[in-house]
Amino acid sequence: MEGVIIVTGVWEERQKALRVLEAAVAEAGGKPGEHVFALPVMRKAGVTNAEFRTAAGYLAEQGWIAGGDGEYETFVVTPEGVDRISGGRGEGPRTEKKEEEESSSSDNDEGS
């Protein structure tokens, strides 16, 4: 059974949740703290109302969205939620730190 991937219900639910988060980040223009509405996010993510509510609950538990009432009619994407989708691209401190690390490792290589 090596190399066989078993898709579980939990995995499928998480994939839907990530699609919802991706749609929410797009709807927010990639900016944390922007209010987004459920309906356009559901449409972009291609999920039903029930799937959206389940996904939103999971995303809130992870700290990737916030400020939603029990129905998540409107909510905000947190900085962590944007990072989860963008992978931290475009953030100055992360880039600078990475450049510093690369620079220091290059310096170490030169001394060898």
* Sequence letter at residue 42: M
Please report, for the domain that includes residue 48, its CATH number: 1.10.10.10
The pTM assigned to this predicted structure is: 0.71
- Of 81, 5, 20, 78, residue with least CA distance to 54: 20
pLDDT, averaged across the chain: 80
Q: Per the domain annotation, does 18 fall within a domain? A: yes
Q: Give the chain's domain count.
A: 1
**CB–CB of 78/56 below 8 Å?**
no
Give me the residues paired with residue 37 across strands. Answer: 74
Least confident among 11-20, 49-58, 67-76, 98-107? 98-107
Host domain of residue 99 = 9-111
Give me the residues paired with residue 74 across strands. Answer: 37
